[in-house]
């Protein structure tokens, strides 16, 4: 099952890539929402092989997930793979410079269930596909606005 969304950002591709690869910021956000995040590598720059272990509550249960960067193509995008009990997910972020000050950001999340329980979860997500896609687009829009604001406050 694949979820995808696109959003244009009024900022140069390099700035958008910096925002997309702000893993320390994403870690802080996850921790504020109650997740436990442990970094498994010592890289300073976004690099394939960066990895995290996370623990969080989802649907009333404590879940564990490992996230690893598979590919980093600065400033054009990145690919991350995550795995949890019975479910693997691949997130691709692609950035395309539309002009010097405008970047198109496309994200694609592919869920690949490995067990019957995970298949049931993905099936329930298929039933809610429309609302999930809207929520994803809304979150991407919020991210784009925050990225634009951070760019305009710096320049």
Continuous segment of H or E residues that includes residue 97 = strand 87-99
Predicted confidence (pLDDT) per residue in 121-150, tens digit: 999 999 999 999 999 999 999 999 999 999
Strands of 51-58's sheet, edge to edge? 2-9, 102-113, 87-99, 77-84, 61-73, 51-58, 36-39
Please state which CATH number belongs to domain 2-154.
3.30.530.20
Closest C-alpha to 105, from 131, 69, 144, 142:
144
Parse the chain into domains and list their residue ranges.
Answer: 2-154
Q: Which structure tokens are listed for 135?
A: 């929520």
Which pLDDT does position 59 carry in this prediction? Answer: 81
- Assess whether pLDDT exceeds 80 at residue 51: yes
Output the CA angle 41-45-50, nearest 5 degrees: 30
86 close to 79: Cβ distance less than 8 angstroms: no
Which pLDDT does position 155 carry in this prediction? Answer: 67
Q: How would residue 154 be classed by pLDDT, with cut points 50, 70 and 90?
A: confident
Burial zone of 21 (CB within 10 Å; 0-12 exposed, 13-18 middle, 19+ buried): buried
For the chain, the average pLDDT equals 96
Q: For residue 34, give Cα distances in angstroms to 27, 28, 40, 56, 113.
A: 11, 10, 19, 7, 25
Buried b (16+ CB within 10 A) or exposed e, 103-130: bebebebebebeeeebeebeeeeeeeee
């Amino acid at each position: 099952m694949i979820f995808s969304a696109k959003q244009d950002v009024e900022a140069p591709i390099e700035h958008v890539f910096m925002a997309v690869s702000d893993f320390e910021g994403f870690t802080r956000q996850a921790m504020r929402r109650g997740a436990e995040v442990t970094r498994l590598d010592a890289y300073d720059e976004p690099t394939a092989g960066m990895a995290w272990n996370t623990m969080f509550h989802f649907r009333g249960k404590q879940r564990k997930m490992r996230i690893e960067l598979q590919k980093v193509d600065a400033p054009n995008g990145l690919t991350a793979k995550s795995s949890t009990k019975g479910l693997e997910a691949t997130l691709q972020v692609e950035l395309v410079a539309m002009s010097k000050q405008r970047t198109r950001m496309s994200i694609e999340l592919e869920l690949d269930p490995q067990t019957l329980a995970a298949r049931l979860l993905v099936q329930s997500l298929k039933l809610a596909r429309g609302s999930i896609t809207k929520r994803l687009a809304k979150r991407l829009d919020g991210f784009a606005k925050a990225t634009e604001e951070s760019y305009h406050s710096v320049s």
